[in-house]
């Protein structure tokens, strides 16, 4: 397996995902192979380096475009968020939190009152049964 085929196999193994360190290592390996005296291998290496440079430029341009798009979205979102809206969101969030807390308090009280009522009903039922038995 020649040097360039081995590098291609590494690309395939990584499913096309590369890191800057890996790219630098590959470029270094390709540059080192230029020292070989075979003109065909030198031409292959030069072509491979040019392809790598073109691929890296495409990736960089894509990343720059994506960053610009995200910045634009952020600016649009900031422009559409007025101070009044931000205040309303804060107030509503606070109210929601307050309401959740009171809801929990009320649910706890409801449970306690149901238990007390069930206890009283059970006590009354038992007393009623005792009175009924006493009457017999």
pLDDT score at 134: 74
Q: pLDDT tens digits, the chain, 136 residues: what are they?
A: 455 555 555 554 555 555 667 777 777 776 666 556 677 877 787 788 888 888 888 888 888 899 989 888 878 877 887 888 888 888 888 888 888 888 899 999 999 999 999 888 888 888 888 877 777 6
Confidence at residue 36, expressed as pLDDT on a 0 to 100 scale = 60
Residues near 11 by beta carbon (within 8 Å), at least 6 away in sequence: 18
* Res 16: pLDDT: 53
Name 44's Cβ contacts closer than 8 Å, sequence gap at least 6: 4
Answer whether 26's CB lies under 8 Å from 52's CB.
yes
The pLDDT of residue 110 is: 92
Q: 91-121 in b/e burial notation, b at 16+ Cβ within 10 A?
A: eeeeeeeeeeeeeeeeeeeeeeeeeeeeeee
């Amino acid at each position: 397996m020649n040097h360039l085929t081995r590098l291609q196999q590494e690309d395939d193994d990584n499913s096309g995902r590369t890191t800057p360190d890996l790219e630098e290592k590959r470029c270094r390996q390709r540059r080192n192979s230029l020292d070989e005296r075979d003109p065909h291998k030198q031409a292959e290496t030069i072509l491979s380096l040019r392809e790598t440079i073109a691929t890296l430029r495409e990736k960089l341009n894509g990343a720059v475009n994506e960053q610009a798009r995200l910045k634009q979205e952020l600016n649009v979102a900031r422009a559409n968020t007025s101070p009044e809206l931000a205040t309303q969101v804060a107030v509503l969030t606070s109210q929601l939190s307050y309401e959740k807390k009171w809801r929990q308090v009320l649910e706890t009280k409801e449970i306690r009152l149901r238990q007390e009522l069930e206890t009283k009903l059970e006590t009354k039922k038992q007393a009623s049964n005792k009175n009924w038995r006493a009457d017999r």
